[in-house]
Structure 1
């Protein structure tokens, strides 16, 4: 699981993209991030690259966990 709750934009997406790039097509990545601007930017950018957000759930402290499937699988 990639935890970017302590990161600021644009590093939140940079770290997410690097983790996705390391996966095989069709692989899954869980990303733990803050709600608000970080959530909006990361989910939008992931989808623009063709990846799919399979599900998400909220945790305490304004945190969301996304499960992303890398495109191509």
Structure 2
């Protein structure tokens, strides 16, 4: 599973970086994307779902950031 750390990256750059990172993994594989609270955790999951990726879970860590787990769909 690939971990994509986007903490400290603002919108919309974090979505662009997430898309680019997902290009490096095969369809059907899962990835964890680390996101900050606020706009990133609202916008990135919604945008990736709109791209067709399957969202598997979203949880907040004890440190305050979020972990989005998703499955990449076909290119």
User: What's the TM-score once normalised by structure 1's chain length?
Assistant: 0.89
Unaligned stretches of 5+ residues in structure 1:
none
1:26 partner SS: coil
Work out the CA distance in 1 between the residues paired with 2:20 and 2:60. Answer: 23
2:58 partner SS: strand
Q: Which residue pairs with 1:42 in the alignment?
A: 44
1:9 partner SS: coil
1:58 is aligned, of 57, 60, 68, to 60
User: What's the TM-score once normalised by structure 2's chain length?
Assistant: 0.87
Structure 1 moving runs of 4+ over 4 Å: none
Unaligned stretches of 5+ residues in structure 2:
none
Deviation for aligned residue 1:62: 3.0
Deviation for aligned residue 1:19: 1.0
Over residues 14-60 of structure 1, what are the superposed CA-to-partner deviations in whole Å (9 max), with x where a residue is unaligned?
A: 11001111111111111111121111110111000000110122113
Q: Which residue pairs with 2:16 in the alignment?
A: 14
Q: Size of the alignment, in residue pairs?
A: 72
Work out the CA distance in 1 between the residues paired with 2:15 and 2:64. Answer: 18
